[in-house]
Amino acid sequence: MREEDSEQIICCPYCRATYEVGCEHTLAIVDETFNECHGDLASEQYDEFRTIIEGHFLRLLKSGQREGLSWDDVNVNELWNVVREDYSPQDEELSVDMFAFTNLFIKLLEVAGGKRYPNSLIEGYGPGMTSVIRLFYAEDPARVFEVARSELEARLHKEGR
């Protein structure tokens, strides 16, 4: 992984360890091109957040709530609108729009105190296969995920009108 516009070495804002060496402050490596998330705790949390959203929406749809719902949070609203349109009553699971989900995940990390690496980062996987990466650091990654998760729950339960 490298910076898009310079050859500067990426390092942790807390302990100055280089990205290659790694340290406990790496919060998440979010691939905005392929909608993936890397990092010990982060990849797990990424899947879990998605499961929370899908479960919540499925419960709403199963209970017959389909029309007239909207959310204060624009990303949550966008996620809802897609699943609502795709849903049929025999569905036992949903899948959210991954671009909208990745967007929401990034915002939650920011709100929860994750420190975004300021420059654009790219990862090359060969010709024509380049990902845009958002790298996040935190002094205490586990704590940031806790806060991000309660923020997600709050946003999911806050319906606008």
To Zn ion, the closest distance from the beta carbon of 6 in angstroms equals: 21
- How many residues in total does the chain contain? 161
Q: How far is the CB of 45 from Zn ion (least distance, A)?
A: 19
Nearer to Zn ion, 16 or 161 (CB): 16
d(CA 54, CA 46): 13
Contact 111, 148 (CB under 8 A): yes
Q: What one-character DSSP code corresponds to residue 7? A: -
Least Å distance, CB 138 to Zn ion, is 9
Q: Which is nearer to Zn ion, 70 or 119 (CB)?
A: 119
Q: Which residues bind Zn ion (CB under 5 A)?
A: 12, 14-15, 17, 23, 25
The burial class, CB within 10 Å (0-12 / 13-18 / 19+), for 96 is buried
27 vs 60 by CB, closer to Zn ion: 27
